[in-house]
Amino acid sequence: MVVKSVLAGLCLAGLSSMAMAQGDPQPYGKGFDSWNFSRVKEASGVTNCRAFRRVGGRDDIMAMRTDGYSYLSVRAEGRNGKFPKSIVVPLREPANGMQWDITIAADGKRMWVALPPAAIEIIAAKGGYSMLLGGSEDRDDVNLGKSAPAAWKRVKECVVASGG
């Protein structure tokens, strides 16, 4: 069953890759449970595959590029700059559990959390994450929902189908 879904994803990707031009976002497969999928070829030649959804005024993104760079993104709500010594924790993680100490970047509109693909895999499996912004008392809890693991799987399929 897994092989069938991967092959189906690769076939869909093959059909849409012929039409993909630099800078033009292309849908990648059919969306589900509020998640939609796209890929875009960036000027550098790298393809960015994204799972995105809008729920309750939130814009959640899980993404990975064909060069291996992966990230999470939410609205910045006016936050701007870099936030070193920030912490990202999977939802429902016990005290003294897993966490990543990172720098979070924001441009006033979006915040980006660059994490290894394996970390995003864990966060998707837990259904979300909490961000504690370094140098402030800001905390943001992001619930990605029960379909987050399937959405992240589609992102990885897109990366493979796009040459990553």
Note the pLDDT tens digit of each residue in 20-64: 555 678 999 999 999 999 999 999 999 999 999 998 888 999 999
**Distance between CA 38 and CA 24 in Å, rounded?**
10
State the DSSP H helix or E strand holding residue 85, giving kind and residue range, or none if neither.
Answer: strand 80-90
pTM: predicted TM-score of the whole model, two decimal places? 0.83
**Distance between CA 51 and CA 152 in Å, rounded?**
7
**Distance between CA 73 and CA 140 in Å, rounded?**
12
Determine the average pLDDT of the residues in 112-120.
98
- Residues 25 and 40 sit within 8 Å (Cβ to Cβ): yes
Q: What's the structural domain count of the chain?
A: 1
CATH number at residue 149: 2.60.40
Of the candidates 72, 137, 143, the residue with the CA atom closest to the CA atom of residue 110: 72
For 18-147, where are the alpha helices, taking DSSP H only?
A: 117-126
For 101-141, where are the alpha helices, taking DSSP H only?
A: 117-126
Phi, psi of 149 (to 5 degrees): -60, -40
Domain encompassing residue 39: 2-161
